Structure 1
Amino acid sequence: MADTGPEPDANQTPVPDPAAGAAFSPQDEQAPETGPGTAPDFAPATTTWVPTPPPPAQPNQTGIIVAAVAGVVVLVLMACVGLVGGIFLLRDGETPVASPASRAPLLPTTGGSPTASGQPDQSEEPVAQGPQASAYPAEKVEDLNRVCDEDIYYPELPKRAGKAPHPVVLLLSDTPGLRYKDDGYYYDLGLSKKVEQTWASEDPRKVQMVACLDRVSTGSTIRNCKFDDPKPQTLPLVRTGWRLRVYEAATGRKLLDKAMNGDDQKCPYVVMVGADKKIYAEVSDRAAIAALRNLVNK
């Protein structure tokens, strides 16, 4: 038989083994009797272990910022989804007002105020092309300058039609912005009233054609011309290019467009001198008549 050690003493109080945990007597395991009207003879001692909370963690600043930004984005999206029937346009110093659903959205225009998309911008109106009818009749020969310079015609005037001759007036411009009627170029054809009314009529109501003769270029000096009055001086006579255009006065229809040279290269007896102190070689009377003859006589 194996040796089990000394017999325990019945009167010896058992000593608890630390490794096995606390030992309790049979009395400790019995629950106190309770009943109606009775109270326990004692309150068992209890020990509650409260764990020590860990130190608070430092807040994650990055997470807070991301969450805040996400919240703002969500609010903006919600606000955008909630807008119905209008677009807000803000200006400095103005209170934003939601446009009603029935109003066309405003679109920005360049260099101006916003314009409703359903209304045409006045600056985008098409520009009229070609000659335009005069809003008033020609009452004097000077009114016919507009045929040359403003692309205007006079519907009340007679058309170039029927039996010749077809009356014409020659309107000359040797200085920009200045135009005048040439009253003497036809003298080689005669001085009768009929010739005058055909080539240089004073009555615009009888004119069928308007001839516009314009100086368009200058060149080298041909010769120097001397003048005595009002004081002695010498001026250069220069080569000059001209353009002859002929229009039907009643319709603005162009009948002729011809380049011409200033073939009159003699020093004139009388000349109007401009600020440039030059004399321009003019289209001779004979050359002007030759350019217009077929239109007048056929």
Structure 2
Amino acid sequence: MRPLIRWVICLAVALGVGAGGYVLLKDDEPFTVYRYQAMCEKPQGFDQAAPRAASGPRPVFVYGFWNVRDESPELFDPAALDVWDPTDPAKVQLVACVDKVGRGDFVKSCTYEPDPFGIPGGGDFRSDLYKATYRVTVYEARTGRRLASSEFAGDRFRPEKTPQAEPCPRTALTHDKGPRFEQREADPYIQQIRDTLQPHVTG
């Protein structure tokens, strides 16, 4: 079988926008937790995974919009971090795939006045904000069996870690010759993903 090269997208949130980093893995390299992202491309069983326990906690590898150790470690105590963001692939029992599947409700129009200092990009600008629909699908890591799937509305537009009353970012960056209008779809909060997965991980 010819070697397969897989790209793993490690998503973070910066200034309210998901940022991506990439890790290049080859099949002949040591098995790491990042290999479990292949479940989100094609469900399959992994002999390297631990059997799913009858009760929690069940360590879960989450693929997509999940950067808890760098961004939101305060949501978990140190022991819980090893459950929600395991580093040992042999302890993983579940794989969760987080995907954006559609645009949600309109939230608000954010308007920005011309930049008073004449910085390129100044000028009237409007950003229409929409929620986005995200699907979380949970698989048994050892067998590839699909256990559950549920959807929720992501509504994160700003870098704050918890929902805010005011969704409009404080500033907007544009190009001086670019369009004066944009439409933005929200990211999910890590807390939303955690709450969706809670029954499967700790139940």
Q: Which category of TM-score, normalised to the shorter sequence, fits these structures?
A: 0.5 to 0.7
Structure 2 counterpart of 1:284, which letter? Answer: Y
The structure that has the greater radius of gyration is 1
Contact (CA 8 Å) 1:169, 1:181: kept in 2 or not? Answer: no
- 1:62-81 matches, within 5 Å, as none
Determine if the alignment matches structure 1 residue 289 to structure 2 residue 194: yes
Overall identity of the aligned pairs, in %: 26
CA distance in 2 between counterparts of 1:152 and 1:230 reads 50
1:163 deviates by 5.2
Q: For the aligned residues, what is the CA RMSD?
A: 3.6
The TM-score, its normalising length taken from structure 1, stands at: 0.43
Q: Which residue of 2 aligns with 1:212?
A: 97
- Hey, what does 2:134 align to over in structure 1? 242
Match of 1:165 in 2: 57
Among candidates 64, 67, 76, match of residue 190 of structure 1? 76
> Which digits, 9 at most, give the CA deviation of each residue in 1:171-210, with x for residues without a partner?
11xxxxxxx6433576343352x12111112332221111
User: Separation in 2 of the partners of 1:270 and 1:294?
Assistant: 38
Greater CA drift, 238-247 or 228-237 = 228-237
Structure 1 residue aligned with 2:5:
none
Contact 2:104-2:153 at 8 Å conserved across structures: no
Q: Does 1:156 align with 2:48?
A: yes
SS of equivalent to 1:152? coil
Aligned counterpart, 2:14: none
Which one has the bigger strand percentage? 2
Mapped to 2, the partners of 1:140 and 1:280 lie a distance apart of: 32
Code of the residue aligned with 1:187 in structure 2: it is P
Q: Secondary structure at the match of 1:153?
A: coil
Could you list the runs of 5+ residues in structure 2 that have no partner in the other structure? 1-26, 158-166, 175-180
Q: Is the 8 A contact 1:186 1:289 kept in 2?
A: no
TM-score (norm 2): 0.60
Q: Which digits, 9 at most, give the CA deviation of each residue in 1:227-247, with x for residues without a partner?
A: 999956653322211111000
Task: Report the CA distance shift for 1:205/1:165 in structure 2 as closer, same or farther (over 3 A).
Answer: same
Assess if the C-alpha contact under 8 Å between 1:245 and 1:256 holds in 2: yes
| Cα distance in structure 1, aligned partners of 2:29 and 2:142 | 11
Partners of 1:282 and 1:142 lie apart in 2 by 22
Which whole-Å CA distance do the structure 2 matches of 1:269 and 1:293 have between them?
33
Bigger RCO (CA 8 Å, 6+ sep): 2
Structure 1 runs not aligned, ≥5 long: 1-134, 173-179
Instruction: Describe the SS at the equivalent of 2:68.
Output: coil
Specify the SS of the correspondent of 2:201: helix
Superposed CA deviations along residues 57-86 of structure 1, whole A, max 9, x for unmatched, are: xxxxxxxxxxxxxxxxxxxxxxxxxxxxxx
1:262 maps to 2:148? no
| 8 Å contact kept, 2:106–2:129 | yes
Cα displacement (A) at 1:137: 9.1
Q: Does the 8 Å CA contact 2:140/2:147 hold for their aligned counterparts?
A: yes
The separation in 2 between residues aligned to 1:239 and 1:251, in whole angstroms, is 34
Q: What CA distance in whole angstroms lies between the structure 2 residues aligned with 1:159 and 1:263?
A: 35
Deviations 1:111-149 (A, max 9, x none): xxxxxxxxxxxxxxxxxxxxxxxx889712331111011
Q: 1:187 to 1:230 in 2, by over 3 A?
A: farther
Which string of whole-angstrom CA distances, capped at 9 and with x for unpartnered residues, describes residues 97-124 of structure 1? xxxxxxxxxxxxxxxxxxxxxxxxxxxx
